[in-house]
Structure 1
Amino acid sequence: MKHITVLFALTLTAGSLAGCTTEVRSGTPAEGRPIASSSTSTAALPPEEALLAAVHATEATAYSFTIKQGSKSGSGRIDPAAKSAAASLGGTVEQVTVSVAYTVIAPELWVKADFGKELNKLWGMPGNTWMLIDRTKASSTATLPVDEAGAPQLGVTDLFKHGLAEVERTDATHFTGTVDMTAADSVLAPSADVVKQAGAKARAVPFTAVVDGRGHLTAFTVNGASIDPELALALAFADFGAVPPVTRPADAITAPAAVYKLFD
């Protein structure tokens, strides 16, 4: 059952793909970090700094995203200023199809999960039903996609902050380099089994990245399939500043006690 718990936690963290506690829409730097307003403003920066500036610019506005990682795929949207997010992730693990979705409108969190009829019954959990989570009942808050105040918790930038190397600019908006896929403990981190099998190769996987003319990261692709299918990652970001508002799920129920076992 551990793989189900891990995927559930990983999916929740995925919401942090774009979650952020910063209440900024206008382009004001978050936590004093530089934000690139155009490709010209980053042209003079070293490649790695330019790419990181694009990542931080992405953190400061609402946007939508898609993710494909190995056998998992998902999508969502984030509005940092409204402290809200909606995301879903699904895939097949050991021939078990799993899907998890979440909605955050701080300080409230809802989760919807489906592990198939048999596993849902085993967990004592309603399948494919929105459930309102009482965060105080989660024994491990580290698996929640929110911070202490209930705002969406960022996870994707851990990989960029600690894992990039050999970054080069191929033109004004395109970058290449390598990324250490073991550097982040977030939705983008491969499983321990994948890391063990890949060995040192997991620490320097080739990537490509694309930045738009406004200085936002629009695509990040890790080309690790030749090492292990689970080391293949494709992220895409769009709709900056123009995503529909996140709304409360209709017909949500109070989460049953069994659901909180997934946060152990």
Structure 2
Amino acid sequence: MTVLTKRLAAVAAIGILAGCGQATEAEQPTPPTPAETLKKAVPAASAEPFHYVIKGGTQGLSGVVDTAGKAMTTEISEKIPEAGLTLSMTFMVIGEDSWAKISFGDAPANLGLPKLPKKWMKLDLSRLGADAKKDLTYDGQSDPGFVSTLIDAADGLTETSPGHFTGTVDLTEATEADVVEAATLTALGAKAKAVPFEAVLDDRGRISTATVKVPAAGKVKADTYLVTYDRYGSAPSPQAPAGSAQVAAPKAAYELLNG
């Protein structure tokens, strides 16, 4: 069949369908399920740079993710009452390069903590253990709060109002998200199978917040795991420190990071 006859055949087919009046209407697409809507709302590889905050869970975090630039920052601040100090750590990964800033605040001198540079410390990944190296390597991460993992483990998801979803999540199926410690998961028992879950989308259908309300169990107090993704497109993309703003990480930094 030539191009011309293809065109004529197409025209003829259209004419026949229009003339007989018995053509069936095209099937309407099936509306997405709440889970599908939420999965689509999670930042992916094509996402604009965004800011994130994770509260609760096993470790609070904040920072910026820029998937296009293969860049990410992570800020951690943790009070250690028994040592009388606040440990602050900031990590930056851009491509295959990583930097860190570590501070012990006003730690008592008798603790014998190492004196680390205040500038960005450039890390040699070959000197890091497997776990630390994995944490400080950009491998396409676009969902630092593991919202997608929570959605996969969720049940009974319902859109209660535009952009607002509720349901439950099985924490035993979402351990990668580190919502609770292993001991807490054990203490929760059957409760861990159906923990209240909420998700809110912004006006462009992107994840704004995801919340897991962990109930009390035995001696374990109730807790809330909250992930916030915001400043889509306006969060500043991580930039490599200028030469004068960085130094090679000393041995003490590797000893600390490797545990």
Instruction: Answer yes or no: is 1:82 the counterpart of 2:42.
Output: no
Residue of structure 2 equivalent to 1:112? 101
Q: What is the rounded CA distance, in whole Å, between the counterparts of 1:175 and 1:140 in structure 2?
A: 38
Moved more, 238-247 or 215-224: 238-247
One of 234, 237, 242 as aligned partner of 2:234: 242
Relative distance call for 1:225 and 1:201 in structure 2 (3 A) is closer
Alignment-derived partner of residue 207 in structure 2? 217
- Partners of 2:64 and 2:115 lie apart in 1 by 26
Q: Which position in structure 2 is the counterpart of 1:12?
A: none
User: Are the aligned partners of 1:61 and 1:240 in contact in 2 as well (CA < 8 Å)?
Assistant: yes
How many Å separate the matches in 1 of 2:166 and 2:228? 16
Q: What is the number of equivalent residue pairs in this alignment?
A: 221
Q: Deviations over 1:13-51 (max 9, x none)?
A: xxxxxxxxxxxxxxxxxxxxxxxxxxxxx9921111111
1:191 is displaced (CA, Å) by 1.9
Residue number in structure 2 paired with 1:199: 189
Q: 1:68 to 1:127 in 2, by over 3 A?
A: farther
CA 1:101 to 1:171, structure 2 compared with 1: closer, same or farther past 3 Å?
same
Which residue, out of 91, 105, 120, partners 1:130?
120
How big is the alpha-carbon RMSD for the aligned residues of Structure 1 and Structure 2?
A: 3.3
**Which residue matches 2:258?**
263
**Deviating more after overlay: 70-79 vs 202-211:** 70-79
Residue 47 of structure 2 corresponds to which residue in structure 1? 60
Considering Cα pairs closer than 8 Å and 6+ residues apart, tell me whether 1 or 2 has the greater RCO: 1
Runs of 5+ unmatched residues, structure 2: 1-28
Q: Name which of structure 1's ranges 234-243 and 122-131 shifts more when overlaid on structure 2.
A: 122-131
For the Cα contact (< 8 Å) 1:91–1:98, is it kept in 2? yes
In terms of mean alpha carbon deviation, does 232-241 or 162-171 score higher? 162-171
Q: Give the superposition deviation at 1:199.
A: 2.8
Pairwise CA distance, 1:54: 1.0
Structure 1: gaps spanning 5 or more residues: 1-41
Give the CA deviation at 1:53: 1.3
Question: Normalized against structure 1, the TM-score is what?
Answer: 0.69
1:83–1:126 distance in 2 versus 1, CA, 3 Å: same
**TM-score w.r.t. length of structure 2:** 0.70
Query: In structure 2, how many angstroms separate the alpha carbons of the residues matched to 1:208 and 1:192?
Result: 22
- Percentage identity across paired residues of the two chains: 29
SS at match of 1:75: strand
Contact 2:35 2:151 (8 Å CA) reproduced:
no
User: The residue matched to 1:136 in structure 2 has which SS?
Assistant: helix
User: How many Å separate the matches in 1 of 2:196 and 2:54?
Assistant: 17
Q: CA deviation at 1:236?
A: 1.3
CA distance in 1, matches of 2:198, 2:239: 34
Query: What amino acid sits opposite 1:233 in the alignment?
Result: Y
Q: CA deviation at 1:254?
A: 1.5
Tell me if structure 1 keeps the 8 A contact 2:179–2:225.
no
Aligned to 1:3: none
Aligned-partner Cα distance in 2 for 1:105–1:135: 13
1:15-94 alignment, distance < 5 Å:
44-56=31-43, 60-69=47-56, 73-93=60-80
Give the conservation status (yes or no) of the 8 Å contact 1:105–1:151: no
Larger CA Rg, structure 1 vs 2: 2
Instruction: Tell whether 2:139 aligns with 1:145.
Output: no
In structure 2, do the counterparts of structure 1 residues 239 and 56 end up closer, same or farther at CA, with 3 Å as the change threshold? Answer: closer
Conserved 8 A contact 1:106-1:152 = no
1:116-168 Cα offsets, whole Å, 9 max, x none, are 53599656352765321111111214663344xx4563543363354222211
